[in-house]
Amino acid sequence: MTALDMFSLKGRVAIVTGGSRGIGKMIAQGFLEAGCSKVYITSRKASQCDEAAAELGENCISLPQDLSTTDGIKSFVARYLTHEDKLDILVNNAGAAWGAEFDEFPESGWDKVLNLNLKSPFFLTQALHGALTKAGTADRPSKVINIASIDGIRLNPQETYSYHASKAGLIYLTRRMAARLIHDNICVTAIAPGAFASEMNRVARDHGDEVAQRIPARRIGKDEDMACAAIYLASAAGDYVVGDTIAVDGGVALASPGGL
């Protein structure tokens, strides 16, 4: 196997949740360019999901679904299994954020974020366990990649209590799931993105030059930065990485807290 072969996703089938925009779309596009035969994307808004799939090409399939509830997860998995009987790569990217002052932080903002950011990755992986197990072997394991955040590693200056808690929890959940699922030839890892231009990170999107001044690498993340990290973990190149979280943040996690 050549070095290029190690990073190929030729013939692999992937699911990217929250794949219609932002980081999810970056990863979906990267997977297709790396050779995935099919990439299924999902998001809550059907029109956005359909439009993104059409833009990414015929090998990208739109399966819109709200994954914030277990009923939604069951419905999505049932629909996926009408198309495929196994799964090589699952990217748990769908997420939400909420900011409010401590004394005013609402229960709704807690539940919405924890349900989508922490509960859903666990139960979606559980529901797809059989399909992932069927695809994985000791020589070529299937992959689960959880999209965490540097906000799970260090503090940002915003009062995003449930977001911080959910992403920190997801990093440790990744380790716990990895310890169990590697026995089924499933590698579980995570990526902790820093500042990437997206609908969720509008500051980076709308004020990228200003944000870049507070990043050691002196720039915000590019689409290919995220795509390449995900391709590494999803491909044979990342087969021996189990349970780790890779910070893709230009060095922000190494800087003093509160910079972003």
Collect all residues with Cβ–Cβ distance below 8 Å to 243 and sequence separation of at least 6.
Answer: 174, 175, 178, 179, 182, 188, 189
Q: Is the dihedral of CA 178, 25, 88, 235 positive or negative?
A: negative
Annotate 86-119 with DSSP letters as a single string. --SEEEE---------GGG--HHHHHHHHIIIII
Answer whether 124's CB lies under 8 Å from 68's CB.
no
Collect all residues with Cβ–Cβ distance below 8 Å to 206 and sequence separation of at least 6.
Answer: none
Q: Is the dihedral of CA 228, 144, 194, 171 positive or negative?
A: negative
Q: Which residues of 55-77 are buried (b: 16+ CB within 10 A; e: fewer)?
A: ebeeebbbbbbbbbeeebbeebb
**What are the beta bridge partners of residue 196?**
221
H-run or E-run covering 15: strand 13-17
CA distance linking residue 212 with residue 207, whole number of Å:
9
In the annotation, is 163 catalytic?
A: yes
CA distance linking residue 77 with residue 174, whole number of Å:
21
40, 80, 161, 163: which is the annotated catalytic residue?
163
Catalytic residue numbers read 163
